[in-house]
Amino acid sequence: MESTTINGIVYSVSGSTTAFVRDTDFDISPVSTILSTVTINNVEYSVTSIRNNAFFSSLLLSSITIPNSVISIGDSAFQMLRFLSSVTIIGSSLESIGISAFSGCGFTSITIPASVTSIGDGAFYYCPSLSSITIPNSVTTIGSYAFNNCSTLLSVTIENPANVRTVYTDSFTNVRSNPSPSTITFNNTASFNSLSPTWQTIAGYYDNQIYIGGQVPPTIGPLTIPTKTFGDAPFQITQPESDSSGAFTYTSSDLEVATIEGDIITIVGIGSSIITATQAATEDYTSGDVSANFVVNQSTPENPATIQDGEELLYFLNTTSTYGNIEDSIVVNSNLSSSNQKVLFTTNPNNVAITKSTT
* Whole-number Cα distances in Å, 74 to 47, 98, 267: 13, 5, 63
Q: What is the pLDDT of residue 215?
A: 77
Task: Please report the domains of the chain, with CATH numbers, ordered by start residue.
Answer: 95-212 (3.80.10), 228-297 (2.60.40), 305-356 (no CATH)
* Cβ neighbours of 111 (radius 10 Å): 11
Place 359 in a pLDDT band, splitting at 50, 70 and 90. low
Reported as a single tens digit per residue, the pLDDT across 43-71 is 999 999 999 999 999 999 999 999 999 99
CA atoms within 13 A on the CB side of 351: 3
* Whole-number Cα distances in Å, 349 to 61, 210, 291, 328, 329: 89, 67, 39, 10, 12
Q: What is the mean pLDDT of the chain?
A: 94
Q: Who has greater pLDDT, 341 or 356? A: 341
Is 80 exceeded by the pLDDT of residue 357?
no
Reported as a single tens digit per residue, the pLDDT across 113-147 is 999 999 999 999 999 999 999 999 999 999 999 99
Contact status, residue 334 vs residue 351, Cβ threshold 8 Å: no
* Whole-number Cα distances in Å, 282 to 285, 286, 320: 5, 6, 43
Reported as a single tens digit per residue, the pLDDT across 322-335 is 999 999 998 888 88
Q: What is the pLDDT of residue 14?
A: 94
Q: What is the pLDDT of residue 100?
A: 98
**Which residues have CB under 8 Å from 276's CB, separation 6+?**
250, 251, 253, 289, 290, 291
Q: What is the pLDDT of residue 109?
A: 95
Q: Who has greater pLDDT, 356 or 254? A: 254
Q: What is the pLDDT of residue 256?
A: 96
Q: What is the pLDDT of residue 358?
A: 67
For 277-320, the DSSP string reads: EEEPP-SSB--EEEEEEEEEEPP-SSSPEEE-SHHHHHHHHTSS
Angle made by CA atoms 61, 67, 68, in degrees to the nearest 5: 150
Residue ranges of E strands in 105-152 = 118-119, 132-135, 141-142
Q: Is the pTM of this model over 0.75?
A: no
